[in-house]
């Protein structure tokens, strides 16, 4: 099936980035939908700012920027967003009930042959696909933050996802200039978070056991494993609450060994969530 028009549900952190990549690199017509005008305006502002940076660097002309913007259609109307879409990408908050509600609604308004994908980072694809009447045309399409820069997309097969759906999404991924990794089973954490989250949690354990300072732990991993950023800095960026939520999913669905560090729990309770609250392992207020 050929994809020409995409609907992105959500204009937030991930949604606006996915919209930009789809319109800029793959040159799709994109309908970006959110529930409040201020969310849409904010999403469009972030897309504008990002495109301006490409223009400043000389990687894009003003005319090319306007052409990209002309392919993006912000809307509050779900029916307008999905009724012409060949592919619907859901990028709403990481909450199973909310995702299911939005997906059931989108499913009822979309064309019968449209494919639906979810940008979830931790929720079971089979579970949220069950909110639609087309589980065979449903898959995970997990972008990484920021979608404009990160090369990877994890494509997750749900229990009923068809081969044709998977191969179409692989094609779309390549057209967006991204690298696909096919996750053959719908397991919690997929590939990246399955490896990353225990590593981040272990870094918190090292702080908790006073083995080394946060600065030295970050330095050791940056220089010893060649990570671009240390695990505790990364935790502050991702959000300690988000990380805790993923560990809880992994404990429930895979194995109790993924238990969160007691310090991670304490910090979340204290509202020390990282950059978004100004304080995590580092002070971001400065």
CATH number at residue 80: 3.40.50.720
> Is 97 known to be catalytic?
no
Q: What one-character-per-residue DSSP string does 149-193 give?
A: T--EEEEEE-TT--HHHHHHHHHHHHHTT-EEEEE-S--TTTTHH
Q: What is the pLDDT of residues 207-255, one digit of tens each?
A: 999 999 999 999 999 999 999 999 999 999 989 998 998 899 899 989 9
Helices assigned H by DSSP within the chain: 13-24, 37-56, 62-70, 78-82, 96-109, 125-129, 163-175, 192-208, 214-225, 231-238, 240-253, 262-269
Q: What range defines the domain where residue 249 resides?
A: 193-277
Residues 148 and 104 in one domain: yes
Q: What is the pTM of this model?
A: 0.89
Last residue of a domain, one of 136, 154, 183: 183
| Beta pairing partners, 9 | 33, 90
Cα–Cα distance, 223 to 152 (Å, whole number): 23
Residues 171 and 210 in one domain: no
> Is 193 known to be catalytic?
yes
CB 37 within 8 A of CB 166: no
pLDDT of residue 83: 97
Catalytic residue among 118, 121, 124, 201: 121
Residue 188 falls within a domain, yes or no? no
- How many independent structural domains does the chain possess? 2
Residues 49 and 70 in one domain: yes
Cα–Cα distance, 183 to 158 (Å, whole number): 9
Residues 142 and 102 in one domain: yes
Residue 283 falls within a domain, yes or no? no
Last residue of a domain, one of 162, 183, 204: 183
pLDDT of residue 145: 85
Catalytic residue among 16, 118, 126, 142: 142
pLDDT of residue 1: 81
Cα–Cα distance, 149 to 164 (Å, whole number): 28
Q: What is the pLDDT of residues 158-171, one digit of tens each?
A: 999 999 999 999 99
Give me the CATH number covering residue 266.
1.10.1040.10
Running DSSP on this structure, what letter comes out for residue 136? Answer: G
Catalytic residue among 118, 193, 201, 261: 193
Residues 178 and 210 in one domain: no
Cβ within 8 Å of residue 253, ≥6 positions away: 124, 187, 188
pLDDT of residue 286: 78
- Of 12, 283, 53, give the one whose Cα is nearest residue 146: 12
Low-confidence spans in the chain with pLDDT less than 70: none
Catalytic residue among 16, 126, 154, 201: 154
Burial environment of residue 37 by CB neighbours within 10 A (0 to 12, 13 to 18, 19 or more): exposed
Cβ within 8 Å of residue 161, ≥6 positions away: 125, 129, 135, 136, 137, 138, 139
Residue 282 falls within a domain, yes or no? no
Q: Mapping DSSP to helix (H, G, I), strand (E, B) and coil, where does residue 118 land?
A: strand
Cα–Cα distance, 72 to 31 (Å, whole number): 6
């Amino acid at each position: 099936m050929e994809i020409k028009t995409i609907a992105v549900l959500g204009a937030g952190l991930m949604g606006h980035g996915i919209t930009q990549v789809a319109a800029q690199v793959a040159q799709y017509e994109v309908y970006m939908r959110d529930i409040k005008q201020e969310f849409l305006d904010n999403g469009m502002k972030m897309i504008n700012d990002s495109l301006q940076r490409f223009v400043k660097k000389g990687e894009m002309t003003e005319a090319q920027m306007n052409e990209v913007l002309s392919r993006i259609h912000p809307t509050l109307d779900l029916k307008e967003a999905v009724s012409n879409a060949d592919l619907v990408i859901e990028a709403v908050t990481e909450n199973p009930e909310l995702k299911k509600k939005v997906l059931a609604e989108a499913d009822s308004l979309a064309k019968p042959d449209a494919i639906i994908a979810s940008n979830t980072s931790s929720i079971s694809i089979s579970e949220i696909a069950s909110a639609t009447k087309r589980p065979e045309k449903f898959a995970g399409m997990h972008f990484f933050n920021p979608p404009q820069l990160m090369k990877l997309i994890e494509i997750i097969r749900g229990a009923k996802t068809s081969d044709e759906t998977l191969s179409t999404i692989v094609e779309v991924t390549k057209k967006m200039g991204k690298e696909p990794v096919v996750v053959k089973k719908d397991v919690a954490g997929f590939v990246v978070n399955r490896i990353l989250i225990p590593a981040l949690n272990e870094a918190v354990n090292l702080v908790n056991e006073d083995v080394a300072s946060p600065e030295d732990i970050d330095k050791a991993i940056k220089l010893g494993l060649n990570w671009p950023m240390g695990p505790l800095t990364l935790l502050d960026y991702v959000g300690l609450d988000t990380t805790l939520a993923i560990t809880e999913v992994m404990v429930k669905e895979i194995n109790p060994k993924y238990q969160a560090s007691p310090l991670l729990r304490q910090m979340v309770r204290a509202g020390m969530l990282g950059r978004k609250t100004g304080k995590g392992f580092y002070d971001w207020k400065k």
